[in-house]
């Protein structure tokens, strides 16, 4: 049996770090990055200083690799929950790893919370953006299985709960038809997931109008759900 890229990545993964272990690693990473910055700034470095710079860069790489391997299962688990026509699981995982590296660089250990908890929000938001771009690229084509449902992670982060809050408060400005269509299509609350054809029969709209209406609703929701995310990862 040939292993997929995702399966190969999982062979490199390690156990999720405890909060204490994470803090120690990130503090060591900060120290190593500081050493690199100081040594890079020195003009006319001696051979010994060049050797120290190489060693500091190796420490940065080694510590970063440890953090990446510990959080690989989380990235892959979230990627597997995504389902969007035109985007493969491998693409989600690949983009998720890039987002993981970005979050490692941006994480502020002094704030005191776990990196794995911090990572989840920008990771989900990044995948949401990927799906939205794919929808736009395909002129509003939406697959019945794509979306916001069943996106929970083991430590209690609930994307569906957040979506429900946005829908109930209607902060995205959806009209009644858009709200009902989103709930029925994605099987949220009391509804079971409905295909585009089933929605077409229920609402009396053409499949084309259903696609367009859903794409517009998802665009509005994504704008609300991604508010402030860029600030979180800067």
Residues 10 and 115 both lie in one domain: yes
Helix (H, G, I), strand (E, B) or coil at 195: coil
Can you tell me the mean pLDDT for 222-226? 66
Decide if 192 is inside a domain. Answer: yes
28 — pLDDT class (breaks 50, 70, 90)? very high
Q: Give mean pLDDT, residues 185-209.
A: 83
DSSP letter string, 109-132: GGG-S-HHHHHHHHHHHHHHHHHH
More reliable by pLDDT, 225 or 176: 176
pLDDT computed for residue 134 by the predictor? 73
**Does 97 reside within a domain?**
yes
Has residue 139 been placed in a domain?
Answer: no
* Tokens 């299985």 sit on residue: 145
pTM of the predicted structure, to 2 decimals: 0.59
Q: Which residue has the tokens 């989600």?
A: 92
Instruction: Please state, in angstroms and rounded to a whole number, the distance separating the CA atoms of residues 160 and 147.
Output: 10
Lowest mean pLDDT among 50-54, 167-171, 175-179: 167-171
57's CB contacts (< 8 A; 6+ apart) are 36
- pLDDT confidence band for 163 (50 / 70 / 90): low
Question: Do 177 and 92 share a structural domain?
Answer: no
Q: For residue 150, name the pLDDT band (cuts at 50, 70, 90).
A: very low
Residues 60 and 166 in one domain: no
pLDDT given at position 82: 78
Domain boundary among 119, 137, 171: 119
Q: Does 115 share its domain with 199?
A: no
Query: What are 96's two structure tokens?
Result: 């998720």
For the chain, give the number of residues.
234
For residue 87, what are the β-bridge partners?
A: 84
What span, in angstroms and rounded, lies between the C-alpha atoms of 172 and 182?
12
Burial class (CB in 10 A: 0-12, 13-18, 19+), 105: exposed
Report how many domains make up the chain: 2
Taking residues 125-151, report their average pLDDT.
59
- Which stretches of the chain are assigned E, i.e. beta strand? none
Whether residue 172 is found in the same domain as residue 106: no
Range of the domain at 37: 5-119
- Please say which residue of 61, 90, 119 terminates a domain: 119
Instruction: Inform me whether the pLDDT recorded for 204 exceeds 70.
Output: yes
In a domain, 172, yes or no: yes
Computed over every residue of the chain, the mean pLDDT equals 77
The radius of gyration computed from the CA coordinates of the chain, to the nearest angstrom, equals 22
Selected residue with higher pLDDT from 12 and 35? 35
Domain annotation covers residue 182:
yes
147/152 Cα distance (integer angstroms): 13
Indicate the DSSP class of residue 3.
Answer: P
Instruction: Label residue 104 by pLDDT band (50, 70, 90).
Output: very high
Say if residue 109 is in the same domain as residue 10: yes
How many whole angstroms separate alpha carbon 191 and alpha carbon 184?
5
Q: What is the mean pLDDT of the segment spanning 197-207?
A: 90
Query: 11 with 111, same domain?
Result: yes
Helix axes 5-12, 89-106, angle to 10 degrees: 40
Please measure the distance between the N-terminal and C-terminal CA atoms of the chain and give it in whole angstroms.
Answer: 42
**CATH value at residue 99:** 1.20.120.1810
Residue 62 sits in the same domain as residue 165:
no
Instruction: Give the tens place of pLDDT for each residue, 174-190.
Output: 888 888 888 888 777 67
User: Does residue 173 share a domain with residue 76?
Assistant: no
CATH assignment at residue 181: 1.10.10.10
pLDDT-derived band at 226 (thresholds 50, 70, 90) equals: low
Shared-domain flag, residues 86 and 167: no
Predicted local confidence at residue 78, as pLDDT: 86
């Amino acid at each position: 049996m040939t292993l997929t890229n995702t399966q190969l990545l999982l062979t490199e993964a390690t156990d999720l770090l405890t909060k204490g272990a994470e803090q120690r690693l990130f503090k060591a990473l900060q120290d190593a990055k500081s050493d690199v910055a100081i040594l890079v700034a020195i003009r006319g470095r001696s051979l010994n200083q060049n050797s120290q710079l190489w060693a500091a860069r190796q420490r940065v790489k080694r510590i970063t690799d440890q953090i990446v391997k510990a959080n690989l299962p989380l990235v892959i688990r979230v990627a597997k929950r995504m389902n969007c026509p035109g985007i493969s699981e491998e693409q989600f995982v690949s983009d998720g790893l890039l987002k993981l590296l970005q979050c490692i660089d941006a994480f502020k250990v002094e704030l005191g919370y776990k990196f794995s908890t911090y990572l989840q929000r920008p990771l989900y938001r990044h995948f949401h953006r990927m799906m939205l771009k794919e929808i736009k690229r395909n002129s509003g084509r939406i697959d019945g299985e794509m979306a916001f449902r069943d996106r929970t992670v083991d430590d209690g982060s609930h994307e569906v709960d957040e979506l429900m809050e946005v829908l109930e408060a209607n902060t995205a400005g959806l009209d009644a038809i858009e709200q009902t269509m989103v709930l029925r299509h994605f099987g949220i609350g009391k509804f079971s997931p409905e295909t585009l054809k089933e929605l077409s029969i229920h609402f009396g709209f053409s499949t084309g109008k259903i696609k367009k209406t859903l794409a517009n609703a998802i665009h509005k929701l994504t704008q609300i759900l991604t508010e402030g995310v860029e600030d979180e990862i800067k």
